[in-house]
Amino acid sequence: MRTPILTTLLLAAALGGCAGAPAPDPGPLTVQVVGTLPHDSAAFTEGLEFSGDTLYESTGLAGRSTLTAGPAGGPPHTKATLPSPLFGEGVTVLGPTLWQLTWQDGVAIERDSQTLAELRRVPFQGEGWGLCHQADGRLVMSDGSSRLTFRDPKTFAVTGSVDVGYDQLNELECVGGDVYANVWHTDTILRIDAASGHVTATIDAGQLRAQVNTTDPEAVLNGIAAVPGTDEFLLTGKEWPVTFRVRFVPKT
Ligand code: DDQ
Ligand code: CA
């Protein structure tokens, strides 16, 4: 006679083999800290991304928004300031040029990646939160809703969107077909399959905030940058004095 457990296992195996079935949930993940780096505690981090070994960081707040480029953990070698009241948001680097979002100002700023000089501004509808791009250049953007919007990297025009089922998706990081997203005001990072919008893992980064020891309700986790050539990520937060180098591992 078949036990209920065996039946469940057989059913799971059968479903797992179905074409188009969502990838099996690996269970909750957490962060394993492999190192720490200094972070500018005045930086209200809204975007974080490597291009080669240069770390780009976009920061927010009207009158204080910047874009910096330089070695991770070191002082930046290049810096641009946004004229008030522009509020900087997500950033993604496409070789010689980059896109920097603004929050509620309705413009995306295209810049030279080397000098950070502004090249043009493109208007868009709604809010700007997180930004990253996939291997083919396609931009992925969050706007505070539960949708990820795809955009053309040359024109910034919308080319599609997926619903993720979780609201308040903030800073993003594209890795292959996955998009990692901070959920605003939480210690949760979601791993999302960009093609379907399915959440394939939930990562609890709560142990980092505990080490940062801030009481400011806006000093939240926000900043995910995949470290090129590794399975590691830099994670930081708004006005955090530290950036963590982590690996995502199963929660035990
Ligand atoms: N966003 O990260 C959710 C996209 C924007 C957050 C804006 C938070 C403003 C807080 C203002 C605090 C003033 C000290
Ligand atoms: Ca990022």
Cβ–ligand 1 distance for 56 under 6 Å, the answer no
Q: Quote the pLDDT of residue 7.
A: 38
- Cα 55 to averaged position of ligand 2 atoms, centre (Å): 10
| Residue ranges of the chain with per-residue pLDDT less than 50 | 1-19
Nearest Cα residue to atom 1 of ligand 1: 129
- Cα 28 to averaged position of ligand 2 atoms, centre (Å): 21
**CA 247/CA 207 separation, integer angstroms:** 13
Nearest to 31 by CA among 183, 189, 213, 163: 189
Q: Quote the pLDDT of residue 141.
A: 98
Cβ–ligand 1 distance for 100 under 6 Å, the answer no
pTM score of the predicted model? 0.90
Angstrom CA distances, 61 to 58, 104, 168, 218, stand at: 11, 11, 18, 11
What confidence tens digit (pLDDT) does each residue in 65-76 have? 999 999 999 999
**CA 199/CA 163 separation, integer angstroms:** 10
Q: Quote the pLDDT of residue 212.
A: 93
Q: Quote the pLDDT of residue 12.
A: 40
Cβ–ligand 1 distance for 218 under 6 Å, the answer yes
Nearest Cα residue to atom 10 of ligand 1: 218
Q: Quote the pLDDT of residue 10.
A: 37
ipTM of this complex: 0.94
- The enclosing H or E element of 166 equals none
Q: Which atom of ligand 1 is nearest to the CA of 222?
A: 2
Cβ–ligand 1 distance for 103 under 6 Å, the answer yes
Cβ–ligand 1 distance for 87 under 6 Å, the answer no
Q: Quote the pLDDT of residue 9.
A: 36
